[in-house]
Structure 1
């Protein structure tokens, strides 16, 4: 690849996809760029349009604005950026979203947990216990 910055970004996207496939969603994949109607760099991060960033100068406001636009284009309720941390691997990178998006996400999580608790408390308890053990 002639552009070293593009190669670095592509490598980061591929690492993020590999991490997601192993730990979150085996169907995660890099998206084809769509220009003005871009839908994010990676599909398969549940409910999110994901923008992967591996840049020397980090500009969170630009990343979040882009992720939020691309979430709309992708028909996803949430946008986020996965930002590479210098000299670290994927697990040590940062998932970034604005407070508005984070509150909407947590409200949805809260409401869904309450609904599951009402519908099937034993199932909710088992899932809760499983995730507490994984932390």
Structure 2
């Protein structure tokens, strides 16, 4: 039993480390793994903009549990959004999944929409350049 628990913990730690490095390279160099705080946990990784990120690398995926945990941890972390970051078996970090419930995703999309509309209204040229840059990156 002990070996199995240690192996699972090592797999989870490896996933958290790999994802943190990916986020540091592609999103936020200041991203970092958090110390576990029990019932006051703030997610496994900080620095994913506006999110408490709960990372999971498990054989059996239980999205409802992951999302409930991520949403609780977002409250603890004073972040507006929680997400589960789930490792895809036999794949690299970029092929993993970021998962939110529909209510959280709609709130996030509304925030993006409102921010883009404000930018378009007050600095159209900046918005247009930003829009082109992100469309080309897709």
Q: TM-score, normalization: structure 2?
A: 0.96
Give the TM-score of the pair, scaled to structure 1. 0.98
Partner of 2:80: 77
Query: CA–CA distance in 2 between the matches of 1:32 and 1:121?
Result: 42
- Residue equivalent to 1:22: 25
The equivalent of 2:98 in structure 1 is 95
Is the aligned partner of 1:114 residue 2:98?
no
CA–CA separation in structure 2 for the residues paired with 1:18 and 1:78: 21
Residue 62 of structure 1 aligns with which residue? 65
For 1:28 and 1:61, the matched residues in 2 are separated by 25
- The Cα shift of 1:72 comes to 0.2
Structure 1: any 5+ residue segments left out of the alignment? none
Displaced runs of 4 or more, over 6 A: none
Aligned CA RMSD, in angstroms, stands at: 0.7
Residue 82 of structure 2: SS of its match in structure 1?
strand
Task: Find the residue that maps to 2:85 and give its secondary structure.
Answer: strand
The whole-number CA distance in structure 1 between the counterparts of 2:36 and 2:130 is 36
